[in-house]
Amino acid sequence: MNRLLEYLAEIREIQGLKNAILCGITLTKKDESAEFFLVTDRTYTTMDEARAREISERYLPQGMSVKIKISKRVPDAETIRARILEYIRKSFPAAGAFLEESAIEVEMLTSGANFYVEIASGEQTLFSSGKILDETSRYLSSIFCGTFFGNVRVVEKANFDASLLDEEIEETEEFIPTEIREFPICEYEKIDGVDAPLKNAVYIADCLNMEGTYSVCGNVNYIEEIKYVKHNEATNTDVEKTRFSIALSDGSATLRTTYFPKKATLEKVREIKIGDKIVITGSNEEFRGTMSFKAAKLNYGRPPEGFEPVARKGKPVPKAYHTVFPEPYVDYTQAGLFEDTTKPADLKKHVIVCFDIETTGLNNNPAMGKMDKIIELGAVKLVNGEITEKFSSLIACPERLSKEIVALTGIKDEDLVGKPEVDKVLADFYKFTDGAILVGHNVGFDYRFVQYYGEQCGYMFDKKQYDTLALAQEVLRGKLANYKLNTVADYYGFEFNHHRAFEDAAVTAKVFIELVKAKGGLD
C-alpha cells in the first residue's frame, strides 16, 4: 500500500470522515506548515478534526506543523450526471459520440450513487466489454465521497434527428487560407543593411510560408554572443569567430535565429540588448531536416506604435467541447513544495496555456515535403498563476509509427486505434486556448504543427507566445550545460515522464512559473 492509500485508510477510520477523500496539501515555507484539505459527505465533529490532525502530523517531516481543512460536500444528481457524460465522452469517444445527458439517470444513495445509462438494443456489448461503467465508477469515486455503481438500461431509440448536427456542420465548413500578413517598419536605422529604409515586415507567424528574401521585425526577447573556432583550410590555422543567438517576437509568434556579424558591425550589434526593437532580413533554408530562418542582415526598426497583430479570419470558437473534455488538474508530486509559492503580479493577469505535442517526425513545414502527423497533444491551463485544468488526448494516425518514435515516446500503433482525428482534437484545443497566451519549450516547433493542422480545419491559431527555452537561456545563463526541458526541470527539482505530451506540458508550466519568478515578471 502506498503512503496516500495508507493515510486515507487511517483517516477513514474516523466516524465523520468515513468516506473522505484528500483534495490537496498546501505547504507554506514561511511557517513550515502543511494544510491537508479533506472532503467528506458526513457531519464531522471537532474531535474528528483533532484526530485527523494527529494522523496527518505523523505523515510529515519532523518539525513541521499541520493544519486541517475539512469541507462537507455532497454532490447532487445533476452534478454527477454531468461528470459521467464528460468522462465517457473523453475516455470512450466511440461510446460517447451520441450519448446525451438525458440518457443518464442518477439514483442518489446515503453515500454515493447508482447510475444508469440508457442505450439502444445491440449496444450492451460495447458498454460491458469495454468496462466503461467500471472505469466511470472508479472515476466518480476519485472525485466524490462514497461508492458508485453503474448499469445499463436497454431502450428503443427514436430515429435520429439530423437537425441536431446543424451546429457541428457549421463548425466544420470548408476553410480557405488567407494571404501572408505584413506591417510597416518604423524608425529604421542602419546597422548592417542598405541606406534606403526597409518598408514592410512579414508576420513571424507567417514567415515560414515565404519564398526568397524578406524581413521580420519585433522585440528582442533574448540575445547572446557566442564565440566559436573555425578552421581556415588555406592557412591551416584556427580562427576565433563570433555569432549571436537571437529570439525575436512581434506579438504573432517568436522566431529564433543565428546572426553572423561582419567586423565593421560587430561592436554595434554588441550594443543590442533585450527589449530593443530590431529588423532582421534573411530567407528560409533547410537545416537538419526542418525549415529555419537564415539571418543575413540586422538593423534597428520597430512595429508601428500600439501595434496589435491582425487576426486571420477563420471559424469562431466552438460553443462546446465535443471530443476532448478538460479536467481539473491535480498534482500529487512533492517536488519543490518548500519553494517560494508566491506568483509575480503580472503572471496573474493572464490566462496561460502551456502545451506540448508528440509527432511522427520533425517536418513541420509542407515546403519540406510531406508533413509529419501529431499523435498526442497535452496542455494545462494557468489561471491567476495556478495550474487549474488539464487537456490531453492521443490522436489517430493513418500511418505506422517508426521504431524511433515508439522508442522515444512509448506510444504504439495500437494505442492510436479508435482515438479521435486531429481535426476533432484541435477544435477542442482551439476552445481550450480561447483568450489565452500559449507557452511551450521551443514553442515555435510545436506551434507550427498546431497552426498547420488547425488551418486545415479552419481554426486560426494566432496566439501570443512565450518560449521557456528562451526564458531559460536568459534567466539561467551559465548555470546549465544545456537548456533542454529535462535539464531545466532537473535544475528546479521537477520529475516527469519525458516525451509524453501531457507530462511535458505540465512540467513546462512549472518551469515557466519558476522562470518568470526568477526574472521578476512576465514581460
Distance CA 419, CA 393 (A): 8
Within 10 angstroms of residue 300's Cβ, the number of other Cβ atoms is 18
* 382, 509 Cβ separation under 8 angstroms: yes
Strand spans (E) along 104-251: 104-108, 112-120, 147-155, 182-184, 186-189, 200-202, 214-232, 237-249
CA dihedral (271, 275, 278, 280) positive or negative: positive
Dihedral angle sign, alpha carbons of residues 207, 213, 214, 220:
positive
Task: Please state, in angstroms and rounded to a whole number, the distance separating the CA atoms of residues 362 and 409.
Answer: 14
C-alpha cell at 216: 521580420
Reference 392, options 320, 321, 324; nearest CA is 324
Catalogue the active-site residues.
499
Give how far Cα 481 sits from Cα of 79, 168, 485, 486, Å. Answer: 50, 49, 12, 12
The helix/strand/coil state of 12 is coil
Q: What is the DSSP string of 79-100?
A: HHHHHHHHHHHHH-HHHHTT--
Rounded CA gap, 220 and 126, in Å?
A: 55
What is the C-alpha to C-alpha distance for residues 176 and 12, in angstroms, rounded to an integer? 59
* 331 CB-near residues (< 8 Å, 6+ apart): 387, 506
Closest by Cα among 254, 183, 206, 200 to 367:
206
CA distance 454 to 279: 29
Q: Is 202 exposed, middle or buried (0-12, 13-18, 19+ CB in 10 A)?
A: buried
Distance CA 252, CA 308 (A): 9
Main-chain dihedrals φ then ψ at residue 446, nearest 5 degrees: -65, -40
Query: How would DSSP label each residue in 138-206?
Result: HHHHHHSSSEEEEEEEEE-PPPP-GGGGHHHHHHT----PPPPPEEE-EEEE-SSS-SSPP-EEE-GGG
Residue 165, all three cell numbers:
448536427
How far apart, in whole angstroms, are the C-alpha atoms of residue 117 and residue 124?
10
Question: Residue 113's beta-bridge partner residues?
Answer: 108, 148
Judge whether 401 and 408 are in contact, CB under 8 Å: no
Helix axes 46-57, 3-11, angle to 10 degrees: 160
DSSP single-letter state for residue 147? E
